[in-house]
Amino acid sequence: MKGKINILLISPIAGIHDFLYKNIPLPLLAICRNIDLEKYNIIIIDQKFSGWKKRLKYVLKKRKILLAGITALTGYQLKFGILIAGYIRKHRPDIKIVFGGIHPTSTPEICLKEDYIDYIVLGEAEEIFPRLVECLAKNKNPVGIKGIGYKDKNKKIIINEEKEFINLDNLADLPYNLINMKRYISHIGRREFYIEGARGCPYNCSFCYNTIYNRRIRRAISPEKIISNMKHLLLNYGIDNFFIIDDSFFVSKKRVFKFCRLIKENRLAINWSCEANYCSIKSLDNDVIKELISSGMSWIAVGVESGSEGIRRKLNKHIDNSELIEFNRKISKYNLKIRYNFMTGIAFEEEEDLHKTITLIKILLSDNPNAMIQPIYITVPFPKTRYFDQCKKYGLKVPKTLAEWSKYDSYRAREFLPWISGKKGDVSEFLMYISYFIDLKIEHHISDSAIGKVLKLICKVYNPFARFRFNNFYYSFFFEKWLIKEINKMQLSAIENKLI
């Protein structure tokens, strides 16, 4: 370690999920892939684990640090990122602070207006971050380096042009040894371990970040590389249950078949799951489904978004309800779980559309015991998407400061989304909160710790009441919402208070 230059990387809490299970800080490992570890020492602090503050304080007190990198999604993660950056700036003003991830990429100028942010990285950073590190190590500004935003010596904000996409197959393996993998694995419980399968999606749903962030350009990682990553995780850490991060895994059937074949050839006794666009899986025939299951596929997530075909058309997502119901019945014959994604709080949605969503969900759940509904979130319009522009016509109040953007998520964005009000607002919130309990997904999500077991029991007992409310559109006196909100608030403000 002696003689090496220290780089501090921080993964702030991203919401209530982080109390239920602990995903590895994949974005932070990804940006270290090309860092020269002979020259630099990486210190990763993950706010999901208790003791993070003590470690942060220790590192800030004892170590010479070149830069602190913080990952930020819009909403909660940004909120905690801001607090941590402020803390670092106050106690160690000599450390350069770099923000990266989806939020800084979407509002770079607003980020750089803040005193506590010196640099931002736009988009995927495997190649950009090492260049930035080299610049800072030489005490230079990243003049002309694509994909970086910064302030020059006159405090003028400079945003360099975006960098072209990288070839994911050329990337070095992830440096899992930079984190304590055992700690994550023990908290994962029955959940899947996340690995990357692709970036980008060719579809064009008006609300989706992909249309902007990945410019609809899909780049898939080769099946060989995915399998080699799985093998490494299985042999070294005993991980045998994977979720493949790929927003549309079934776009190339040839690739999927090759992937299944390689699992068998390598005799990998694993389970895997993924996400798919409905159009790319609706015509899978029985033999293919059997083949997928025999290779270890355990579940698939599919975006349906609304029960109203009219709403879907406006979102540029084309699904025929009766076809979907038929598909759901067909798939119910197999030992394959299917998770449907729905959204609520869409600007042009009427109460009647929300009822259509409830009705469709009822049918999907009753026809298929293997069907589940993912938590239904209130949709926050993502900057620069077509849906964002549509929302302006409905009175969207665009956040102006970074602090405002940090409140811009499904739970707290009401002040920016004026259509989430009155009865429609109540039904949207009802759908969001009740969706956690209408099936037994929570069973799967919560680890088997003592508190986890209590929570599971509560969910099991509450499930029939939730189903009753949901099935009967009974959203009056929804006191449970208040309870869930309070628990959520208590958990998050406990963390916030630790920083003040």
Which residues in this chain contact ligand SF4 in the complex, by CB under 6 A?
A: 201, 203, 205, 208, 210-211, 247-248, 277, 303
In angstroms, what CA-CA distances link 153 with 31, 101, 150, 158, 212? 27, 25, 10, 11, 31
Q: CB under 6 A: which stretch of 27-35, 135-143, 443-451, 463-471 binds ligand B12?
A: 27-35
Closest residue to ligand B12: CB criterion: 100
Cα first-last separation, the chain: 31
If one asks whether residue 409 binds ligand B12 (CB under 6 A), the answer comes out as yes
What does 303 bind: ligand B12, ligand SF4, none (CB cut-off 5 to 8 Å by kind)?
ligand SF4
Per-residue contact string for residues 340-379; x = within reach of ligand B12 by CB under 6 A: -------------------------------------x--
Return the residue of 5, 26, 158, 159 that touches ligand B12, per CB under 6 A.
Answer: 26
What does 201 bind: ligand SF4, ligand B12, none (CB cut-off 5 to 8 Å by kind)?
ligand SF4
What does 107 bind: ligand B12, ligand SF4, none (CB cut-off 5 to 8 Å by kind)?
none
- 303 CB burial (10 A radius; 0-12, 13-18, 19+): buried
If one asks whether residue 211 binds ligand B12 (CB under 6 A), the answer comes out as no
C-alpha dihedral sign at 391, 393, 397, 400 = positive
Of the two residues 249 and 368, which places its CB atom closer to ligand B12 in the complex? 249
d(CA 188, CA 356): 35
Of the two residues 77 and 306, which places its CB atom closer to ligand B12 in the complex? 77
Give residues with Cβ within 8 angstroms of 289, minimum separation 6.
331, 334, 336
Give residues with Cβ within 8 angstroms of 173, minimum separation 6.
33, 228, 229, 232
Contacts of residues 157-163 at CB distance under 8 Å and 24 or more positions apart, as own/partner, are 157/109, 157/112, 157/113, 159/108, 159/109, 159/112, 159/122, 162/122, 162/123, 163/122, 163/123, 163/127, 163/128
Of the two residues 208 and 311, which places its CB atom closer to ligand SF4 in the complex? 208
| Minimal distance, residue 270 CB to ligand B12, in Å | 19
Tokens standing for residue 62: 């004892």
402 within 8 A of 72, measured Cβ to Cβ: no
| Minimal distance, residue 217 CB to ligand SF4, in Å | 12
What does 203 bind: ligand B12, ligand SF4, none (CB cut-off 5 to 8 Å by kind)?
ligand SF4
Site for ligand B12 in 233-292 (CB under 6 A): 245, 247
Element (H, E) at 496: helix 479-499
Site for ligand B12 in 419-438 (CB under 6 A): none
Return the residue of 34, 47, 74, 229 that touches ligand B12, per CB under 6 A.
Answer: 74
Q: Which of 207, 203, 161 is nearest to 383 (CA)?
A: 207
Of the two residues 77 and 368, which places its CB atom closer to ligand B12 in the complex? 77
Of the two residues 74 and 248, which places its CB atom closer to ligand SF4 in the complex? 248
Of the two residues 121 and 368, which places its CB atom closer to ligand B12 in the complex? 121
If one asks whether residue 69 binds ligand B12 (CB under 6 A), the answer comes out as yes
| Minimal distance, residue 378 CB to ligand SF4, in Å | 16
If one asks whether residue 31 binds ligand B12 (CB under 6 A), the answer comes out as yes
Of the two residues 131 and 218, which places its CB atom closer to ligand SF4 in the complex? 218
What does 30 bind: ligand SF4, ligand B12, none (CB cut-off 5 to 8 Å by kind)?
ligand B12
If one asks whether residue 27 binds ligand B12 (CB under 6 A), the answer comes out as yes
d(CA 469, CA 218): 41
Tokens standing for residue 89: 């700036």
| Minimal distance, residue 16 CB to ligand B12, in Å | 8
Of the two residues 210 and 390, which places its CB atom closer to ligand SF4 in the complex? 210
Residue whose token pair is 């998050």? 492
- Phi/psi at 320 (5° precision): -95, 125
Of the two residues 124 and 247, which places its CB atom closer to ligand SF4 in the complex? 247
In angstroms, what CA-CA distances link 128 with 100, 122, 132, 168, 463? 11, 9, 6, 14, 48
**DSSP letters for 205-220:** -TT-THHHHSTT--EE
If one asks whether residue 75 binds ligand B12 (CB under 6 A), the answer comes out as yes
If one asks whether residue 101 binds ligand B12 (CB under 6 A), the answer comes out as yes
Q: Which of 132, 200, 139 is nearest to 160 (CA)?
A: 132
Using only C-alpha atoms, what is the Rg of the chain?
Answer: 23
Instruction: Give the interface size with ligand B12 as a residue count (CB under 6 A).
Output: 36
Q: CB under 6 A: which stretch of 118-126, 134-142, 305-313, 390-398 binds ligand B12?
A: 118-126
